Structures are given as C-alpha cells and as structure tokens.
Structure 1
C-alpha cells in the first residue's frame, strides 16, 4: 500500500513537470551567430557580445566587421573592464609591429615600452592571440629591438624595456616552431645571438631580479641549443662562465639551476677544441667538478642527467680528470647513478668512468681509481647493464671496463641490492 502511494506521487510529479514551463534562455545569453547559449562570451568594440568559438570562426573566414552591425572591428570596447576582448587579428599585430620598428629606429624607448606591453596584454588574453602574434613575425621584430637597445653599454637605462621584451619573447620560443617561417627564425637568432645581445643577457643574469634571470636563462638556453655557434659566441663573453657557475653554486631556483647546467653543457661540448678546452679548464679551476658531484647526490632526474653530462665533458681535459681523482665522491656517485636515474644518466656515468680509467699518463692513479670503483660494486653494475641492454657506444665502453678490471677483482666486492630493484630488460 505504501509503495503504490510512492509510485503514484512520482507519476504526479512527472506530469507536473511536463505541464510546467520549459527552461527559457534569456536573449542576453544567446550568441547572435550560433543562437545557442554562450559558453565563453566576448565583447566586440560595437558592444555586442558573442560566443568566442563563433566569433573566431567569423574572423577566420576573413570578415572584419561586426556580424550584427556594420562597424569595423578594432576599436577599444567601452565595457572592456567587464568583458573579455575578442581575439586580436593579424592586421592589428602587423600594424603594431610596423609602429614598433619605427620606434626602434628612432630609439624611442618610452613608445617601444608601451607597444611591448600591449603585445604582452594580447598574449595574456588567450592562446589564439599568442599564435597570431608569433605567426606575424613578432619574434623577428622583438629580437631586433632587443639588439638595438642592448648596444648601449649602460643597460640600466633601458633595463625595464629589455626585461619586458625578454618576457614577451619567452612565450614565442621555441624558434623551431617557426619552421614555416625560416626567414623569421634566422633573423631572430642572428639578432638575439649578437655580441651586444649576449652581453646584455649575461648582465641580466648577473644583476637582474628573479624574473629577469629566468627570462634571460630561457633565451640563452634557446640560443645555444639551436646552434652551436651561439655557444661559442657566449663563451667569448667576459664573465659568462663565471655568472653561470655562480648560479649553480648559489641556486636561486631549481629552474634556473637546470637551465644553467644545460647552457654550460653546450659550452663545454663545443666542436671547437680551443673554445671548449678553454672553457672546461676555466670551469674546473672554479671548482665545478666538486660542485657537480655534490649536486648529483640527491637532485631530481633532469638535474642529475645534465650534471652528469657536464661532468662527463669535463673529464675530457687533464685538469678535470685530476680534480675527479682527488674527490672522494667521484666513484661512489658515478657507480650509484648507473641504472638508478635514467638511461641517459647511465650513459654519462659509464662514459665518465671509462675516460677516468684510460689516463695513460697516470697509471698509478688509474689503478687506485679502479680499486675504489670495484669496492663500490661497479663490476656487478656493468655486468647487469650488459644483460639488460644498452646503446652500442655504452656497451663498448662497459665491455672495455670489464676487461680492464677483471684481472684485479678482489675476492669480496660490495654492491647495494637496492640498485637492482624493479629493473627490466630493454629490447
């Protein structure tokens, strides 16, 4: 009896809902183009509001007037403080960049700052705006402007403008995304990689605030990773290596530390033997070898990989090897990182050990090194590495190390079984 009453009440409620008025969307919330409820409303300069997807499709179709009215899109909306702006058009970007170029030629810093801040505002509004700005060659104009104002030795005068331009260029990176605009890529690299621009970037790393340091480091990392000639040009800048070393020794934030190590890696791996050897010796004298080992002990994966890569490169020079032999952390850290961090970290660790084991001029030190390496379990690590599989170059180095160490293996060797947990064979 009770259940039948409940079913009858539910049926009556459904009947009332059917008879009731349906939900009506107010006209103010309906997009005039799609006639649907607006999910992401934006306001044109005419004051009429549209759904973002609908008005973007309208603009992509080559239309430059308001769909309802006849006014041309481009003026500032009167209710901008309450509505999000419609996406910027390519014509607007081109016009602004043209004005910016004229202002750069006359070195009108105040006008340039206003234009740069306007582009920054566009980029903060939507990802579509950023794509539009990049597609119209903004990186070329900005890099040329940065180079022009960086020619003044008194960077403090234009510090605010230079920092604003760097902040904008950072979301225009990487330059590789401009593969369809090769002329923009080459021009931007040439301007941003000039001696004046590089000196300014180093100065910002040294004297700028945290934001300026981050932006400068991103720009440097983009340059040296895109072309090795920029790494060689940076190595020729006075105080460049010292500033980078200080950012690793006195960490400001993890991102800057990782980027500093990456830039240093490109500096020490330069194909030019004279440049790379000079920068390696300079960094070794500063104490980078010991600093890298201490940093690698308990750092996260990407930092460990880059630090081991730099350490491996420093082992190519005699000074680097001597410092590595003198440091008590060298062999425990290198052996510990094999099969513990990543495949790349394993490659760098094996390569560094292989280089340290081939110092023909110091056979006594090499023998001591091999004995220490055996005591921390390198033999088992290398055997397991060959069983699991690795790259051909790493395999050759590991095999050569095993042949070298096999005759002098002690009866008892130490190995941490934790290193072998969760390991799988790679095919």
Structure 2
C-alpha cells in the first residue's frame, strides 16, 4: 500500500470507519457497511454485537469480503504510487491495453461512484494522450463509448468529472465508425448528453468549453440531428455568445465550426438570425488581425445564412458588414474569396437589393470583380463575378479608367 503523502487525497470510502486508515482487506457486515477486516474483527472480539457506524444490532456477525472495493483500492494505490514516482522521476505511467480493458469493466459496474470514476478516467486519459493508436483503440473498445455517455449524462453535478469525460470524448468521438449509432446514443436516447455539454459551456474552463463544442460536430450528421442540437434550450444561444469579439480565438473558431455544421436546416438559420448572429459575424470580420481560418469560417457561416430570405435582409441592412465582405475578396485566401463572392452574389444578384449593390460599389467591389475575371479562380466564382458586374449600378465605361486598354477584353458583356 502506498504511503500517505500530503498531496495525495485518499477517497473517503477507502478509509475504514473504525481506524480511518486505508483498508487493506475490506469486508462488509450484514448492515452493508464495509470495514477493514482487522478493525471489525477486534470490535467483535471485544464483545460488541452492533455495527459501529450505524449502531444497528447485528443479526449475524459474519462478514463478506468486498472484492470490488479491494480492487478499487488497489487501482488507487497503484495510481497514487505512480504519481509519487512521477514527481520523483518526471515520468507518467501509462496503462496497457489490457489494463484499460479492466478499467472499463470496472467503470461499467461503479458508474455511480464519481470519485472512483474520476480516478479511472484520469488513467484512461493518460492512455489516450499517449498515441493516435490508443485513441483508436478506445473508440473501438466494446462498451466504452456508451459507458462514457452514460457517465456524461449523470455527472452534471460534478463539473470536475464532467470536464474529464468531455476531454476524453473530444479525443475519440471523431474516430467512432458508426456515426448513426453514436448520434442516436447521444441525442435520441434517455441520456441527456446535451444538458451536460451545455453545463460545461456555461461553467467549465476554456479548454473544456472548446472540447464540449467539438463533441457536437461528429453527431451532426443529418437534418434531424442538427435540429436536435439546435433546439436544445439555451445551447444555440450559448454558441452564438461564444463567438463574441472578446472571446479567445480558439473558442471562437470551434464555435464557428459547430454552427456551420448544424446551420443547414431552415429553422436553424432562422433561429440564428433571431439570435443576432449576423452582427457578431460582422464584428469578427471587422476585427483587426483575425486569422485566415477564423475569417473563412465567419464568411462560410454568413454564406449559409445568406441562403435564406431573413439572412439576406439582415446582411443588406448592415452596410459595414457588406463593406467588410467586399474587403475580404482577393485579400485573405481563395476559400474566403469564394465565400465572400457567394454572399455578395446572393444579396446583390439574387435578392437584387439596391442598397447592397451601392455598398458593394462604394467598397470598390467592381474593381475586384474585374480582377477576379482575370484571375485563376473557379468557374463558379468567375460566373458569379460576371453576374455581379452585369447588375452593377456603375456602367462599364466608368469602371475602366484605372485599367490598361489591353484588359478590355475581359468584360463579360
């Protein structure tokens, strides 16, 4: 048994109620209370006929070895010793695959003991961090994902354990082959996994918030699953809050990716617009020094919202946003350019909003569309650029002075 150290916390249920020491040979009385064998034997040998903890009169003085608790104590003892060794040597002990299988079996039996689950998950996390192969092993290990989801839905009251469970889920969900079964287990069963995820988003650490958001994408596989996620009360609004301009770039990008993944259904788009997502995206696009990835994702989400009438109205109403979109054309990346042109095409060409057309012209959009016509862009972008030039409020002659006459041939009309 490992020696007690000031920095090692002993779970209370590992201590004998009589001696208060860690039990070496736990046994249970007929009352259900467990003691260390030596301590309870001395109590009974002294002529006592009651349970020391409850003071109930014993109907029988026989006791039964508590094998499960003994195994847990041994696991804890090994883990505690590993921590001591790690502090001394700087190395973390990683369990083997066989040991992980045993740990998972014990998890299935002792799900209600959060102290025990935290201990076991700490070991499993150490295993998962070790290699990609280990994460694949966990994702395919019979019963592991379901056991983790069961615990996720039941551990809302223990934020520390919840964060640990989310961390492991974030590592393995993307590797689960049967996405349909995964989706049904998380979203369509009796498990309330979304409440647990929302709880972490609202009260967890920054890392846990990022990991929680990422656990939603692997199960957003069809329109039904996207709606189930989006219609969880408070979840969609929390995701919009997380893309706020004062947030950490990592949580913003994770939230944008998640919103993109679930935003295709019309009802979700409408709800996002009602939650004032468009102004938040404008803040991101006008924010200086935004990363290429963040800009691409913000434009992609805007492109999705521009595919419905309510989204186009919001975008057309926001002159600063339209000018910011024009500025991103040819400035960030080919992907960003494609998203930006698609948004402008939706509001100016499809929706034929005059105010939007004027804002694009003021933002020097005509020149950029001309440049795109000469560039090595995709056929779709070239066609949309041509469409935008055709409906431009500026005639062809007024937009050519800055160009060499040799470029006149690029005009699509």
TM above 0.5, yes or no, is yes
* Secondary structure in 2 matching 1:313: helix
1:376 aligned partner = 363
1:237 aligned partner = 232
By how many angstroms is 1:141 displaced? 4.2
1:132 aligned partner = 134
**CA distance in structure 1 between the aligned counterparts of 2:125 and 2:325, rounded to whole angstroms:** 45
Matching residue within 394, 405, 409 for 2:381: 394
State the TM-score, normalizing by the size of structure 1: 0.66
**CA distance in structure 2 between the aligned counterparts of 1:326 and 1:85, rounded to whole angstroms:** 57
RMSD: 3.1
Say whether 1:171 aligns with 2:178: no
**CA distance in structure 2 between the aligned counterparts of 1:133 and 1:221, rounded to whole angstroms:** 18
By how many angstroms is 1:267 displaced? 2.1
**CA distance in structure 2 between the aligned counterparts of 1:163 and 1:206, rounded to whole angstroms:** 12
Alignment of 1:27-426 (within 5 A): 80-81=85-86, 82-83=88-89, 84=91, 88-104=95-111, 107-124=112-129, 126-127=130-131, 131-132=133-134, 134-137=136-139, 141-152=143-154, 156-175=156-175, 182=177, 187-194=181-188, 196-224=192-220, 229-249=224-244, 251-269=246-264, 276-297=265-286, 298=288, 299-359=290-350, 366-405=353-392, 408=395, 411=398
* Secondary structure in 2 matching 1:340: coil
**CA distance in structure 2 between the aligned counterparts of 1:327 and 1:156, rounded to whole angstroms:** 40
**CA distance in structure 1 between the aligned counterparts of 2:205 and 2:142, rounded to whole angstroms:** 25
**CA distance in structure 2 between the aligned counterparts of 1:367 and 1:354, rounded to whole angstroms:** 13
By how many angstroms is 1:234 displaced? 0.4
**CA distance in structure 1 between the aligned counterparts of 2:95 and 2:263, rounded to whole angstroms:** 43
Unpaired runs of at least 5, structure 1? 1-74, 270-275, 416-427
**CA distance in structure 1 between the aligned counterparts of 2:150 and 2:394, rounded to whole angstroms:** 64
Q: For the structure 1 residues 85 and 150, does the alpha-carbon distance in structure 2 shift closer, same or farther, using more than 3 Å as the test?
A: closer
**Which whole-Å deviations, capped at 9, do the CAs of 1:105-161 have from their partners, x for residues lacking one?**
xx333322221122123345x33xx62353154676453234323445xx6423322
**CA distance in structure 2 between the aligned counterparts of 1:227 and 1:400, rounded to whole angstroms:** 33
Q: For the structure 1 residues 344 and 137, does the alpha-carbon distance in structure 2 shift closer, same or farther, using more than 3 Å as the test?
A: closer
Count how many residue pairs are aligned between Structure 1 and Structure 2: 318
* Secondary structure in 2 matching 1:264: helix
**CA distance in structure 2 between the aligned counterparts of 1:100 and 1:132, rounded to whole angstroms:** 18
CA contact (8 A) 2:95 2:123 kept: no
CA contact (8 A) 1:244 1:264 kept: yes
CA contact (8 A) 1:146 1:192 kept: no
**Which whole-Å deviations, capped at 9, do the CAs of 1:247-296 have from their partners, x for residues lacking one?**
11264311111111111112222xxxxxx222222222232212212211
Unpaired runs of at least 5, structure 2? 1-77, 403-413
**Which whole-Å deviations, capped at 9, do the CAs of 1:347-399 have from their partners, x for residues lacking one?**
11111111101355xx5xx2332233223222221121121122232222222
CA contact (8 A) 2:245 2:283 kept: no
* Secondary structure in 2 matching 1:243: helix
Q: For the structure 1 residues 146 and 251, does the alpha-carbon distance in structure 2 shift closer, same or farther, using more than 3 Å as the test?
A: farther
**CA distance in structure 2 between the aligned counterparts of 1:190 and 1:140, rounded to whole angstroms:** 17
CA contact (8 A) 1:247 1:256 kept: yes
CA contact (8 A) 1:90 1:133 kept: no
**CA distance in structure 2 between the aligned counterparts of 1:205 and 1:248, rounded to whole angstroms:** 12
